[in-house]
Amino acid sequence: MIETDTIAAPATPRGKSALAALRISGPAAFQITARCIQEKILFEKTPARYIQLFIAKDPITEKTIDQITAVKYSSPRSFTGEDMVEFFCHGGPFIVNEIHHALITAGARLAKKGEFTRRALLNRKIDLMKAEAIRGLIECNSEAEFLCAQKLYYSGNFASKIRNMREGLIEQLAKIENFIEFEEEQGGIKARQDDKEGIVSILKQIEADLTKREKIKTIEKGLRIVIAGPTNAGKSTLFNTIVGYNRAIVHSKPGTTRDTISETVLIKGHEVLLIDSAGIRDGTDDIEREGVVRSKEEIEKAHILIWVTAADRPFEEEELKELMNFKHKNTIYLINKIDKSEGKEKHFYLDTKKIKAIGISLKNHINNEQLMDEIGKRVEQINKDIEVPDLLLNARYDEIGRSLYNEIKLTIEHWDRAEVAANYLKSGITKIDEWLGKTNTEDIINKIFDGFCIGK
Separation CA 131–CA 201 (nearest Å):
30
Nearest CB to its own copies, comparing residues 126 and 425: 126
- Residue of 249, 317, 318, 348 that binds its own copies (CB under 8 A): 249
Q: Is 412 in the site for its own copies (CB under 8 A)?
A: no
String of contacts with its own copies for each residue 319-358, x by CB under 8 A: ----------------------------------------
The answer to the question of residue 110 lying near its own copies (CB under 8 A) is yes
Q: Is 27 in the site for its own copies (CB under 8 A)?
A: no
Torsion of CA 397, 399, 404, 410, to 10 degrees: 160
Quick one: 99 or 408, whose CB is closer to its own copies?
A: 99
Contact between residue 10 and residue 92 where contact means Cβ atoms under 8 Å apart: no
CA dist 59 and 52 (Å) reads 19
17 binds its own copies (CB under 8 A): yes
Helix or strand run (H / E) with residue 90: strand 84-91
Nearest alpha-carbon partner for 22 in 33, 11, 35, 36: 11
Q: Does 14 bind its own copies (CB under 8 A)?
A: yes
DSSP for 184-233 reads TSTTHHHHHHHHHHHHHHHHHHHHHHHHHHHHHHHTTT-EEEEEE-STTS
Provide, rounded to whole angstroms, the least separation between the CB of residue 274 and its own copies. Answer: 16
Window contacting its own copies (CB under 8 A); options: 170-178, 242-250, 281-289, 379-387: 242-250
Of 269 and 314, nearer to its own copies (C-beta) is 269
Q: Minimum Å distance from CB 22 to its own copies?
A: 10
Taking the complex as a whole, how short is the minimal distance between the CB of residue 455 and its own copies, in angstroms? Answer: 4
* Contact (CB, 8 A) for 123 and 91: no
What residue type is assigned to position 94 of the chain? F
How do strand 331-336 and strand 357-359 relate by DSSP bridges?
Answer: parallel
116-175: contacts with its own copies (CB under 8 A): 116, 134, 137-140, 143, 146, 150, 153-154
- Applying the rule CB under 8 A, the residues between 63 and 102 that interact with its own copies are 64, 66-67, 71, 86, 88, 90-98, 100-101
Burial class (CB in 10 A: 0-12, 13-18, 19+), 231: exposed
| Contact footprint for its own copies (CB under 8 A) | 9-21, 23, 49-52, 64, 66-67, 71, 86, 88, 90-98, 100-101, 104, 110, 116, 134, 137-140, 143, 146, 150, 153-154, 248-255, 266, 269, 271, 453-456
